[in-house]
Amino acid sequence: MGKSLLDLHTHSNRSDGLDSPSYLLERAKALGVTVLALADHDTVDGWQEAHEAAVRNQLGLIPAIEVSTHSEVFGDAGTRRISVHLLAYLPDPTNAEFMGELKKSRDSRLIRAKKMVELLSEDYPINWLSIEAEMRPGATVGRPAIADALVTAGIVADRTEAFREILAKGSKYYLSEHSLETAEAIALIKNSGGVPVMAHPLMDFPAGASMGDLATENFLRLIEAGLAGLEIEHRQVPENARNWLRELAAEHNLIFTGSSDYHGVGGKINELGENSTQPEQLNRILDLASGYEAYFPSGRSVL
Protein backbone atom coordinates (compact mmCIF):
# COMPACT_ATOMS: atom_id res chain seq x y z
CA MET A 1 0.00 0.00 0.00
CA GLY A 2 1.38 3.42 -0.95
CA LYS A 3 1.52 6.52 1.16
CA SER A 4 -1.85 8.17 1.68
CA LEU A 5 -2.49 11.88 1.29
CA LEU A 6 -6.05 12.81 2.13
CA ASP A 7 -7.03 16.38 1.25
CA LEU A 8 -10.60 16.89 2.44
CA HIS A 9 -11.31 20.49 1.40
CA THR A 10 -10.85 21.89 -2.12
CA HIS A 11 -12.71 24.16 -4.53
CA SER A 12 -13.38 24.17 -8.26
CA ASN A 13 -14.75 26.74 -10.70
CA ARG A 14 -18.28 25.70 -9.69
CA SER A 15 -17.66 28.19 -6.87
CA ASP A 16 -14.60 30.38 -6.31
CA GLY A 17 -11.85 27.96 -7.34
CA LEU A 18 -10.05 28.43 -10.66
CA ASP A 19 -9.77 24.80 -11.83
CA SER A 20 -12.50 22.73 -13.43
CA PRO A 21 -13.37 19.65 -11.36
CA SER A 22 -11.57 17.50 -13.99
CA TYR A 23 -8.38 19.51 -13.87
CA LEU A 24 -8.55 19.61 -10.06
CA LEU A 25 -8.59 15.80 -9.90
CA GLU A 26 -5.79 15.52 -12.46
CA ARG A 27 -3.62 17.95 -10.57
CA ALA A 28 -4.37 16.20 -7.26
CA LYS A 29 -3.28 12.92 -8.80
CA ALA A 30 -0.08 14.47 -10.14
CA LEU A 31 0.77 15.86 -6.71
CA GLY A 32 0.28 12.51 -4.98
CA VAL A 33 -3.07 13.15 -3.31
CA THR A 34 -4.83 9.79 -2.83
CA VAL A 35 -8.25 10.95 -1.60
CA LEU A 36 -9.76 14.33 -2.41
CA ALA A 37 -12.93 16.04 -1.20
CA LEU A 38 -14.51 18.59 -3.51
CA ALA A 39 -16.26 21.14 -1.27
CA ASP A 40 -17.50 24.03 -3.38
CA HIS A 41 -19.34 26.83 -1.61
CA ASP A 42 -23.09 26.14 -1.29
CA THR A 43 -23.34 23.85 -4.35
CA VAL A 44 -23.09 20.23 -5.50
CA ASP A 45 -22.74 21.31 -9.12
CA GLY A 46 -19.22 19.90 -9.57
CA TRP A 47 -19.91 16.45 -8.11
CA GLN A 48 -20.74 14.69 -11.37
CA GLU A 49 -17.71 15.91 -13.31
CA ALA A 50 -15.48 15.25 -10.29
CA HIS A 51 -16.76 11.69 -10.06
CA GLU A 52 -16.00 11.00 -13.72
CA ALA A 53 -12.52 12.48 -13.30
CA ALA A 54 -11.92 10.44 -10.13
CA VAL A 55 -12.76 7.24 -12.00
CA ARG A 56 -10.51 8.25 -14.93
CA ASN A 57 -7.61 9.16 -12.66
CA GLN A 58 -8.18 6.37 -10.12
CA LEU A 59 -8.35 8.74 -7.19
CA GLY A 60 -10.57 8.56 -4.10
CA LEU A 61 -13.32 11.18 -4.04
CA ILE A 62 -15.46 12.44 -1.17
CA PRO A 63 -18.24 14.68 -2.51
CA ALA A 64 -18.85 17.55 -0.11
CA ILE A 65 -20.16 21.10 0.23
CA GLU A 66 -18.76 24.09 2.13
CA VAL A 67 -21.91 25.59 3.63
CA SER A 68 -22.00 29.31 4.48
CA THR A 69 -23.55 29.93 7.90
CA HIS A 70 -23.57 32.58 10.61
CA SER A 71 -23.49 32.36 14.38
CA GLU A 72 -24.08 34.68 17.31
CA VAL A 73 -21.07 34.17 19.56
CA PHE A 74 -20.24 35.43 23.04
CA GLY A 75 -16.85 36.77 23.88
CA ASP A 76 -15.00 39.44 25.81
CA ALA A 77 -16.38 42.08 23.46
CA GLY A 78 -19.99 40.96 23.96
CA THR A 79 -22.18 39.17 21.46
CA ARG A 80 -21.27 39.38 17.81
CA ARG A 81 -22.29 37.76 14.57
CA ILE A 82 -19.58 35.77 12.84
CA SER A 83 -19.42 33.80 9.64
CA VAL A 84 -18.91 30.04 10.13
CA HIS A 85 -18.17 27.64 7.29
CA LEU A 86 -19.31 24.03 7.64
CA LEU A 87 -17.98 21.20 5.54
CA ALA A 88 -20.83 18.81 4.79
CA TYR A 89 -19.39 15.42 3.80
CA LEU A 90 -21.51 13.05 1.71
CA PRO A 91 -24.96 14.62 2.15
CA ASP A 92 -27.82 13.50 -0.08
CA PRO A 93 -27.77 15.90 -3.07
CA THR A 94 -31.48 15.23 -3.67
CA ASN A 95 -32.59 16.29 -0.18
CA ALA A 96 -35.12 18.98 -1.08
CA GLU A 97 -34.95 20.94 2.15
CA PHE A 98 -31.15 21.19 2.26
CA MET A 99 -30.79 21.86 -1.47
CA GLY A 100 -33.52 24.52 -1.21
CA GLU A 101 -31.59 26.31 1.52
CA LEU A 102 -28.37 26.17 -0.52
CA LYS A 103 -30.23 27.71 -3.46
CA LYS A 104 -31.38 30.55 -1.19
CA SER A 105 -27.78 31.14 -0.11
CA ARG A 106 -26.58 31.22 -3.73
CA ASP A 107 -29.38 33.61 -4.71
CA SER A 108 -28.54 35.86 -1.81
CA ARG A 109 -24.83 35.79 -2.71
CA LEU A 110 -25.77 36.95 -6.21
CA ILE A 111 -27.84 39.88 -4.96
CA ARG A 112 -25.11 40.83 -2.50
CA ALA A 113 -22.35 40.64 -5.14
CA LYS A 114 -24.40 42.82 -7.51
CA LYS A 115 -24.86 45.42 -4.78
CA MET A 116 -21.16 45.36 -3.94
CA VAL A 117 -20.26 45.82 -7.61
CA GLU A 118 -22.74 48.69 -7.81
CA LEU A 119 -20.89 50.41 -4.95
CA LEU A 120 -17.49 49.62 -6.44
CA SER A 121 -18.48 50.91 -9.88
CA GLU A 122 -18.74 54.41 -8.44
CA ASP A 123 -14.98 54.41 -7.83
CA TYR A 124 -13.54 51.72 -10.11
CA PRO A 125 -13.99 50.84 -13.80
CA ILE A 126 -15.89 47.59 -13.25
CA ASN A 127 -19.49 46.54 -13.72
CA TRP A 128 -21.50 43.32 -13.52
CA LEU A 129 -20.32 42.23 -16.97
CA SER A 130 -16.74 42.36 -15.68
CA ILE A 131 -17.68 39.87 -12.98
CA GLU A 132 -19.53 37.57 -15.37
CA ALA A 133 -16.46 37.52 -17.59
CA GLU A 134 -14.43 36.04 -14.71
CA MET A 135 -16.84 33.24 -13.79
CA ARG A 136 -18.23 30.06 -15.17
CA PRO A 137 -21.97 30.66 -15.67
CA GLY A 138 -23.92 29.34 -12.70
CA ALA A 139 -20.94 29.22 -10.34
CA THR A 140 -21.55 30.22 -6.73
CA VAL A 141 -20.51 33.86 -6.69
CA GLY A 142 -18.36 35.39 -3.96
CA ARG A 143 -15.87 38.16 -3.41
CA PRO A 144 -13.14 36.23 -5.28
CA ALA A 145 -14.95 36.82 -8.61
CA ILE A 146 -15.08 40.55 -7.82
CA ALA A 147 -11.39 40.39 -6.91
CA ASP A 148 -10.64 38.80 -10.29
CA ALA A 149 -12.45 41.65 -12.07
CA LEU A 150 -10.40 44.19 -10.09
CA VAL A 151 -7.23 42.35 -11.17
CA THR A 152 -8.30 42.38 -14.82
CA ALA A 153 -9.07 46.10 -14.56
CA GLY A 154 -5.53 46.66 -13.25
CA ILE A 155 -6.67 47.97 -9.86
CA VAL A 156 -4.92 45.30 -7.79
CA ALA A 157 -2.22 42.73 -8.55
CA ASP A 158 -4.01 39.66 -7.24
CA ARG A 159 -6.88 38.33 -5.12
CA THR A 160 -4.87 38.71 -1.94
CA GLU A 161 -4.39 42.42 -2.54
CA ALA A 162 -8.09 42.86 -3.32
CA PHE A 163 -9.03 41.18 -0.03
CA ARG A 164 -6.54 43.25 1.96
CA GLU A 165 -8.60 46.46 1.72
CA ILE A 166 -11.14 46.94 -1.02
CA LEU A 167 -13.08 43.72 -0.36
CA ALA A 168 -12.25 43.33 3.33
CA LYS A 169 -14.96 43.22 5.96
CA GLY A 170 -15.26 46.81 7.18
CA SER A 171 -14.57 48.31 3.77
CA LYS A 172 -17.26 50.68 2.51
CA TYR A 173 -17.84 48.26 -0.37
CA TYR A 174 -18.34 45.24 1.86
CA LEU A 175 -21.81 43.79 2.39
CA SER A 176 -22.78 40.60 4.19
CA GLU A 177 -25.12 38.02 2.73
CA HIS A 178 -28.01 36.01 4.11
CA SER A 179 -26.92 32.60 5.33
CA LEU A 180 -28.20 29.75 7.45
CA GLU A 181 -27.75 29.87 11.21
CA THR A 182 -24.94 27.42 12.10
CA ALA A 183 -26.94 25.05 14.37
CA GLU A 184 -29.78 24.97 11.84
CA ALA A 185 -27.30 24.13 9.08
CA ILE A 186 -25.88 21.30 11.21
CA ALA A 187 -29.39 19.85 11.54
CA LEU A 188 -30.00 20.15 7.79
CA ILE A 189 -26.71 18.42 6.98
CA LYS A 190 -27.41 15.59 9.40
CA ASN A 191 -30.98 15.16 8.12
CA SER A 192 -29.44 14.78 4.66
CA GLY A 193 -27.19 11.96 5.88
CA GLY A 194 -24.14 14.23 5.76
CA VAL A 195 -21.36 14.71 8.30
CA PRO A 196 -20.86 18.32 9.51
CA VAL A 197 -17.28 19.38 10.19
CA MET A 198 -16.39 22.98 11.00
CA ALA A 199 -14.06 24.44 8.35
CA HIS A 200 -11.04 26.44 9.57
CA PRO A 201 -12.34 27.04 13.15
CA LEU A 202 -11.16 30.20 14.91
CA MET A 203 -9.76 31.51 11.64
CA ASP A 204 -10.08 35.09 12.88
CA PHE A 205 -8.77 34.40 16.37
CA PRO A 206 -6.08 36.98 17.19
CA ALA A 207 -2.53 35.66 17.25
CA GLY A 208 -1.14 35.74 20.77
CA ALA A 209 -4.55 35.77 22.45
CA SER A 210 -5.30 33.08 25.02
CA MET A 211 -8.31 30.80 24.78
CA GLY A 212 -11.02 31.64 27.32
CA ASP A 213 -14.03 29.74 28.60
CA LEU A 214 -16.31 31.89 26.49
CA ALA A 215 -15.07 30.29 23.29
CA THR A 216 -15.87 26.87 24.76
CA GLU A 217 -19.55 27.72 25.21
CA ASN A 218 -19.91 28.64 21.56
CA PHE A 219 -18.45 25.31 20.50
CA LEU A 220 -20.44 23.31 23.08
CA ARG A 221 -23.67 24.66 21.67
CA LEU A 222 -22.71 23.42 18.21
CA ILE A 223 -21.44 20.07 19.47
CA GLU A 224 -24.81 19.57 21.18
CA ALA A 225 -26.46 20.44 17.87
CA GLY A 226 -24.50 17.59 16.25
CA LEU A 227 -21.24 19.07 14.98
CA ALA A 228 -19.15 15.99 14.22
CA GLY A 229 -15.68 17.36 13.65
CA LEU A 230 -13.14 20.16 13.39
CA GLU A 231 -10.77 20.98 10.56
CA ILE A 232 -7.73 21.71 12.71
CA GLU A 233 -4.78 21.38 10.33
CA HIS A 234 -5.52 24.25 7.96
CA ARG A 235 -3.17 27.14 7.25
CA GLN A 236 -5.70 29.70 8.49
CA VAL A 237 -6.24 28.07 11.88
CA PRO A 238 -3.90 30.04 14.16
CA GLU A 239 -1.17 28.00 15.83
CA ASN A 240 -2.20 29.26 19.27
CA ALA A 241 -5.71 27.86 18.75
CA ARG A 242 -4.73 24.40 17.50
CA ASN A 243 -3.85 22.76 20.81
CA TRP A 244 -7.02 24.13 22.34
CA LEU A 245 -9.02 22.67 19.44
CA ARG A 246 -7.19 19.31 19.71
CA GLU A 247 -8.13 19.10 23.38
CA LEU A 248 -11.72 20.03 22.60
CA ALA A 249 -11.84 17.31 19.94
CA ALA A 250 -10.39 14.72 22.34
CA GLU A 251 -12.77 15.67 25.14
CA HIS A 252 -15.87 15.42 22.95
CA ASN A 253 -14.73 12.60 20.71
CA LEU A 254 -14.86 14.82 17.62
CA ILE A 255 -13.36 13.92 14.27
CA PHE A 256 -10.35 16.08 13.37
CA THR A 257 -9.16 16.74 9.86
CA GLY A 258 -6.42 18.49 7.92
CA SER A 259 -6.81 19.92 4.45
CA SER A 260 -5.64 22.56 2.01
CA ASP A 261 -8.72 24.62 1.05
CA TYR A 262 -7.08 24.85 -2.39
CA HIS A 263 -8.73 27.34 -4.80
CA GLY A 264 -6.44 26.94 -7.82
CA VAL A 265 -2.97 28.32 -8.44
CA GLY A 266 -3.37 32.08 -8.04
CA GLY A 267 -6.80 31.63 -6.46
CA LYS A 268 -5.31 31.44 -2.99
CA ILE A 269 -1.82 30.58 -1.79
CA ASN A 270 -3.09 27.27 -0.35
CA GLU A 271 -1.58 24.35 -2.28
CA LEU A 272 -3.24 20.99 -2.91
CA GLY A 273 -2.17 18.37 -0.40
CA GLU A 274 -0.43 20.84 1.92
CA ASN A 275 -2.27 19.20 4.84
CA SER A 276 -3.62 15.69 5.21
CA THR A 277 -6.29 13.92 7.25
CA GLN A 278 -5.46 10.68 9.06
CA PRO A 279 -7.12 7.65 7.43
CA GLU A 280 -8.82 6.71 10.75
CA GLN A 281 -10.50 10.10 10.82
CA LEU A 282 -11.81 9.73 7.26
CA ASN A 283 -13.06 6.27 8.24
CA ARG A 284 -15.09 7.90 11.02
CA ILE A 285 -16.64 10.29 8.49
CA LEU A 286 -17.48 7.37 6.18
CA ASP A 287 -19.03 5.40 9.05
CA LEU A 288 -21.28 8.32 9.98
CA ALA A 289 -22.32 9.30 6.46
CA SER A 290 -25.49 7.90 4.92
CA GLY A 291 -26.45 10.48 2.28
CA TYR A 292 -24.12 9.59 -0.59
CA GLU A 293 -21.35 7.17 -1.54
CA ALA A 294 -17.70 8.06 -1.59
CA TYR A 295 -15.70 6.71 -4.54
CA PHE A 296 -12.60 4.57 -4.01
CA PRO A 297 -10.79 3.04 -7.00
CA SER A 298 -9.95 -0.16 -5.17
CA GLY A 299 -12.32 -0.12 -2.25
CA ARG A 300 -12.37 1.60 1.08
CA SER A 301 -9.98 -0.93 2.56
CA VAL A 302 -7.04 1.02 1.10
CA LEU A 303 -7.60 3.46 3.96
124 contact choice in Fe ion, Zn ion, ligand AMP, none (CB below 5 to 8 Å, kind-dependent):
none
User: 17 or 63: whose CB is closer to ligand AMP?
Assistant: 17
For residue 89, the minimal CB distance to ligand AMP (Å) is 18
User: 191 or 236: whose CB is closer to Zn ion?
Assistant: 236
For 21-53, b where at least 16 C-beta lie within 10 A, e where not — what string? bbbbbbbbbeeebbbbbbbbbbbbbbbebbbeb
Q: According to the binding rule CB under 5 A, does residue 101 interact with Zn ion?
A: no
- Which residues fall within 8 angstroms of residue 218, CB to CB, at 6 or more apart? 71, 73, 74, 75
- Which residues fall within 8 angstroms of residue 166, CB to CB, at 6 or more apart? 120, 150, 155, 156, 173
CB 57 within 8 A of CB 295: no
**Interaction residues for ligand AMP, span 139-198 (CB under 6 A):** 142-144, 159-160, 163
User: 244 or 262: whose CB is closer to Zn ion?
Assistant: 262
Stretch that binds Zn ion, among 157-165, 167-175, 231-239, 253-261 (CB under 5 A): 253-261
For residue 167, the minimal CB distance to ligand AMP (Å) is 8
Cα 222–chain centre separation: 18
CB 32 within 8 A of CB 156: no
Here's the x/- map for Fe ion, 78-117, by CB under 5 A: it reads as: -------x--------------------------------
CA angle 281, 15, 98 (to 5 degrees): 65
For residue 180, the minimal CB distance to ligand AMP (Å) is 14
Give the C-alpha distances (Å, rounded to integers) separating 220 from 87, 223, 226, 276: 18, 5, 10, 26
Stretch that binds Zn ion, among 58-66, 92-100, 137-145, 150-158 (CB under 5 A): 58-66
Q: According to the binding rule CB under 5 A, does residue 199 interact with Fe ion?
A: yes
| Position among 45, 49, 101, 261 found at the interface with Zn ion (CB under 5 A) | 261
Residues belonging to the chain: 303
Count the site residues for ligand AMP by CB under 6 A: 9
- Which residues fall within 8 angstroms of residue 248, CB to CB, at 6 or more apart? 216, 219, 230, 254
For residue 255, the minimal CB distance to Fe ion (Å) is 17
Q: Interface with Fe ion by CB under 5 A: which residues? A: 16, 85, 199
Q: Interface with ligand AMP by CB under 6 A: which residues? A: 16, 142-144, 159-160, 163, 263, 268
